[in-house]
Structure 1
Amino acid sequence: MPYITDLHLKASNTRQNISDCPVKGQKGFVLRTTPKGVFSFYYQYLNRKRLHPETGKPMREWHLIGEHPVWTIARARAEATTLAGLVASGKSITAERARDLVLSRATGRSFLQMHDAYMAYCEEPVLRRWGTVPRKESHDNIRSHLRRPLAWWGNRVASEITSQEIMELYRSYVTEKHPAQANNVLQCLNTLFTWAKHPDRAYVTVNPVPTLRGDDRATEVGDIEDGLVLTADQLRKFWFGLDDPKCPGKLHTKLVLKLSLVTLLRTGECCAISRAGIGPDTVTIPLAVTKGRRSPKARDLVQPLNSLAREILGQAFSIGDPLREYAFPKARGGRKSKKAATANKPYMEQRSLSIMTRRADDKRDQMGINQYLGLPAGLTPHDLRRTGACILEQLGYSDAEIGKVMTHKAPDKEAAPVTRKHYLVPVKIVERQIVDPRVKALDDLDAALREILGEPPKKLARAA
């Protein structure tokens, strides 16, 4: 008789019952496998108080413990040991389970209660290195992700929600052709149930949210696998088209898009540039704005400024109040945000850039920048950052060098995987031949040696 392990969790040609080793494991503990790959755990024993009406022999009782993966083998074996203890003490498993179910339903807390407690936890002000902020600064997004689960299960006992019901919710988003939202909601529920099963809270005893990998996860149909990048012709159309007074959007909005392209900063970081943060050769983005602020070693972001970036910032400050604090201030008289986090920001909101870029015709006959300039409809502000990264690659820079310019974090301080996976797209942008990085290195060595030897600097003319 085998000792049940993960090796036994494989589909069988027929339904099979695998009993646990009574010496090493728990007597009466059974794993049932099916051809469809369903794995169930049972506890079975011989009830000598119940006799067969025809043969007069004791009847064998089977009690379902649960299914894998919600129930692990170790947890199911422990439950079988508990049930064996009830039998040994002369108690009825059926009666005890019925009593526990009634007690659980009477005292169990609902999904609504769990949701409200979790949101209060997320919104609780805490002191960080960048100031006092909600514990989870994305609490508005979390509340939005949990809106449909709350409508489905608000009054349900939280511990009764099953993996099958969660997958039904997941598929409802996929059916509506919102796979990205489906994955976000699933991740949010996983975090919620993990938080809820903490011993100090005990809303649930297990996390029923399944882990989806590979083909099990929904993806956007028709997505461009490599991402969207502007070609050289589209880039010229974009750059000079933004200077057109008739192009949709305020001039400050269009300058932010240009600045993101030439600095490879995220648009949210560009929006938050202050006068005090601009130096002769660099710009400093505060820790409260940067994406890496959750790292214990995170520091203010300091990015070099090239000549185009300095021209754009100079143009931005020449518009409106020349003595203002931020290069891209929030528009006055605009739509007031209901979000306290964004309402207190004195600079432009990042999401307004995406709205202005991709907006289609509405009742006021307004259009987005993409439509006006004849650019791909799916172009986002973040694609400009991807375009700049691809140009650097085509100029001969390595993944590690590009990742450092894009402020991507890497454990080994080399190339971050995200740089190659999401940003470097095989779309030809630069027409000239790629420069071997060794050429620049040897030219720098030449210049250093000439300086040491007192020789005059000499520029070597190379073939284009």
Structure 2
Amino acid sequence: MPFITDDHLKASDTRQNISDCPVKGQKGFVLRTTPNGVFTFYFQFLNKKRLHPTTGKPIREWHLIGEYPGWTISRARSEATVLAGLVAEGKSVTAEREQKLVLARATGRTFGQMHDAYMAYCEEPVLRRWGTVSRKESHDNIRSSLSRPLAWWGNRVTSEITGQEIMKLYRTYLKEGHPAQANNVLQNLRTMFTWGKHPDRAYVTVNPVPTLRGDDRATEVGDIEDGLVLTADQLRKFWFGLDDPKCPGRPLTKLVLKLSLVTLLRTGECCAIPRAGIGPDTVTIPLAVTKGRRSPKARDLVQPLNSLAREILGQAFSIGDPMREYAFPKARGGRKSKKAATANKPYMEQRSLNIMTRRADDKRDQMGINQYLGLPAELTPHDLRRTGACILEQLGYSDAEIGKVMTHKAPDKEAAPVTRKHYLVPVKIVARQIVDPRVKALDDLDAALREILGEPPKQLQRAA
């Protein structure tokens, strides 16, 4: 058996396998020659852990090392020695080589490179049931949440970023009093690192983002934990204050806020109401803009309209072109978006409702609705939806009924846990006495039994 040397690097009449001498060289090291002058190095061995299904004999495995001249004989022999060591230790040559390849690819690739590739993946157009949209429609929010990590680690090798460094970043948000933002950034980082860990991308070999549970995970504190709810006095101040011409905001913007309160629709859904979807008793919002569209069985959102909602929509179409496509069109001359998906939206952008929380002392130096009306500075458009839910609860409606009105998804078609946890805040809004639904049920049972027993009906007097 020969010892492979440079003399063997010549074209052969047929394909030949030349094995290294196990005494002078490395057992299992093979040079394959071909008539066209291609020379390839392999490592082969009998894998006693894998038996042929027919003969029952060990299977001979062949592992490619590389081609000459990219691989010299001495370098290829050294690699064969490493692979032989793996076999001697009982390790899988295939698994170890794949891990080494992934690690080699990850080394030197920066966080900024992974970030840019991930954002391109998120923004890539894909076909859904509701049309062609970005793979992750919230890509603008994802990019915004990753701006600080990108500033911190843009030029860092991704595989060198540790869990301790990520927690240090996490705590900066907590020091600023933004626990919800801290958790959101952590979740987006975890998702991106998981994406980068895929063998086809191989930016990292492990996900360094820690999973926080229990007391380790930051939560909101104080009243903000349950959100804010308008009291009866604040509700009157808000409702009639929006009619003040001097109140900040476009007339249509202020009507969106009112409509969200009276329909319990999300403000983003109110902004996108099409004229064609408005009926005498209901409003239909297309699947393309509803929050629940990611469900496999999702359909267009249809919400009943009460008299206040019909009045508000009537006011909306009395402003501007009554035959326009959307009830709340985008303002002319509004801020241009670099993203085509955002620029093509003909209806009002949800972020325009931030006029509620704007303060005269911020960088825009413009007063917002809350400041003008003397309402809590933290009051958000979503708190109007929360206020409507609390009123329904105080009118005696169950969690399940409120959840259905709010279009919360629940697997058992009953109230979603989020309804009680985040919306039903113990703030007294309705002034008149509300009868406990259990009392009404038992009174109805009393009347039915009296009718069955032939007893005369009795008018019940209850204490105020």
- What TM-score, normalized to structure 2? 0.71
Tell me the distance in 2 between the aligned counterparts of 1:428 and 1:407. Answer: 24
1:296 matches 2:324: no
- Distance, in Å, in 1 between the alignment partners of 2:196 and 2:261 is 43
- Distance (Å, rounded) in 1 between the aligned partners of 2:105 and 2:137: 34
Shift of 1:254: 1.0
Aligned to 1:45: none
**Per the alignment, in what secondary structure is the counterpart of residue 284 of structure 2?**
strand
Would you say the 8 A contact 1:248–1:372 is kept in 2?
yes
Name whichever of 430-439 and 227-236 sits farther off: 430-439
For the Cα contact (< 8 Å) 1:271–1:347, is it kept in 2? yes
> Given the alignment of the two structures, is residue 192 of structure 1 paired with residue 192 of structure 2, yes or no?
yes
C-alpha separation between the residues in 2 aligned to 1:320 and 1:378? 32
Q: Distance in 1 between matches of 2:134 and 2:106?
A: 34
- 2:30 is aligned to none
Structure 1 residues 241-390: aligned runs within 5 Å:
241-361=241-361, 366-390=366-390
Q: CA RMSD in A?
A: 3.4
C-alpha displacement of 1:444: 11
Question: 1:204: which partner in 2?
Answer: 204
Alpha-carbon distance in 2 for matches of 1:413, 1:402? 12
The residue that corresponds to 2:429 in the other structure is 429
Mapped to 1, the partners of 2:115 and 2:226 lie a distance apart of 37
Q: CA deviation at 1:366?
A: 3.5
Deviations 1:80-120 (A, max 9, x none): xx99x769569xxxxx9xxx79x848954322222222112
Displacement after TM superposition at 1:438 (Å): 6.1
Partner amino acid, structure 1, of 2:277: G
Alpha-carbon deviation of 1:193? Answer: 1.0
Q: Distance in 2 between matches of 1:217 and 1:337?
A: 35
Q: How does 1:431-450 map to 2 (within 5 A)?
A: 431-437=431-437
- Ranges in structure 1 where 5+ consecutive residues have no aligned partner: 1-81, 91-95, 446-459
Q: Which amino acid aligns with 1:265?
A: L
Tell me the residue number matched to 1:146.
Answer: 146
CA contact (8 A) 2:106 2:159 kept: no
Q: Is the 8 A contact 2:355 2:369 kept in 1?
A: no
CA contact (8 A) 1:105 1:157 kept: no
**Alpha carbons of structure 1 residues 285 and 359: separation in structure 2 relative to 1, 3 Å:** farther
Structure 1 match to 2:5 = none
CA distance in 2, matches of 1:440, 1:284: 35
Seen in structure 2, the aligned counterparts of structure 1 residues 193 and 359 have a Cα distance that, compared at 3 Å, is same
SS in 2 for 1:243: coil
> Partner of 1:283: helix, strand, or coil?
strand
Label 1:104 to 1:201 Cα distance change in 2 as closer, same or farther (>3 A).
closer
Q: Is the 8 A contact 1:197 1:205 kept in 2?
A: yes
Residue 384 of structure 1 aligns to a residue in which SS?
helix
Separation in 2 of the partners of 1:299 and 1:441? 35
Query: Counterpart of 1:407 in structure 2: which amino acid?
Result: T
Q: Deviations along 1:151-174, whole A, 9 cap, x unmatched?
A: 332333322222112112222332
- Matched ranges for 1:25-64 at <5 A: none
Give the superposition deviation at 1:245: 1.5
* 1:355 CA displacement: 2.7
Residue 214 of structure 1, CA deviation: 2.3
Name the % identity: 92
Q: Is the 8 A contact 2:125 2:134 kept in 1?
A: yes
Moved more, 364-373 or 384-393: 364-373
Report the TM-score, using the length of structure 1 for normalisation: 0.71
Question: Which runs of no fewer than 5 residues in structure 2 stay unpaired?
Answer: 1-81, 91-95, 446-459
- AA in 2 matched with 1:419: T
The offset of 1:443, in angstroms, is 11
Distance 2:461 2:326 in 1: 43
Residue aligning to 2:160: 160
CA offset digits 1:107-163 (Å, max 9, x no partner): 543222222221121111100111101101111222222222223323333222221
Note the C-alpha offset of 1:191: 0.1
Say how many residue pairs are matched.
364
> 2:232 — aligned with what?
232
Secondary structure of the residue aligned to 2:289 is coil
Aligned residue identity for 2:418: V
CA distance in 2, matches of 1:150, 1:389: 39
Equivalent-residue separation in structure 1 for 2:339 and 2:129 (angstroms): 22
CA displacement, residues 46-99 of structure 1 (integer Å, 9 cap, x when unaligned): xxxxxxxxxxxxxxxxxxxxxxxxxxxxxxxxxxxx99x769569xxxxx9xxx
Instruction: Classify the secondary structure of the residue corresponding to 1:288.
Output: helix
Change (3 A) 1:383 1:135: same
Matched, 1:215 2:215: yes
Q: Report the Cα offset of residue 241 of structure 1.
A: 1.2
User: 2:58 is matched with which residue?
Assistant: none
Whole-Å separation in 2 of the counterparts to 1:383 and 1:89: 63
On the 8 A contact 1:196/1:202 being kept in 2, the answer is yes
In 1, Cα distance between the equivalents of 2:364 and 2:195?
46
When residues 443 and 250 of structure 1 are mapped into structure 2, their CA distance, relative to the original with a 3 A threshold, is farther
Structure 1 distance, partners of 2:140, 2:362, is 27
**Contact 2:249–2:355, Cα closer than 8 Å, also in 1:** no
**How many angstroms apart in 2 are the aligned matches of 1:105 and 1:274?**
50
Q: Give 1:361 shift.
A: 4.4
Paired residue type of 1:373: L
Give the aligned residue type for 1:209: V
**Is the 8 Å Cα contact of residues 356 and 381 (structure 2) preserved in structure 1?**
no
Name the residue aligned to 1:35. Answer: none
Pair 444,266 (structure 1): closer, same or farther in 2 beyond 3 Å: farther
Structure 1 distance, partners of 2:225, 2:141, is 26
In the alignment, the residues of structure 2 paired with residue 270 and residue 440 of structure 1 have an alpha-carbon distance, to the nearest angstrom, of: 35
Q: How do residues 85-164 of structure 1 correspond to structure 2 at under 5 angstroms? A: 104=104, 108-164=108-164
Partners of 1:358 and 1:379 within 8 A in 2:
no
Contact 1:358 1:378 in 2 (8 A): no
177-186 vs 264-273, which moves further? 177-186
In terms of Rg, which structure is larger? 2
CA distance in 2, matches of 1:301, 1:236: 29
Q: Which residue of 2 aligns with 1:54?
A: none
Cα distance in 2 for residues equivalent to 1:211 and 1:442: 49
How far does the alpha carbon of each residue in 1:405-460 deviate from its partner, in whole angstroms, 9 at most, with x for none?
A: 00000111101000000000110001112234468889999xxxxxxxxxxxxxx9
Pair 441,348 (structure 1): closer, same or farther in 2 beyond 3 Å: farther
Worse-superposed segment, 280-289 or 237-246: 237-246
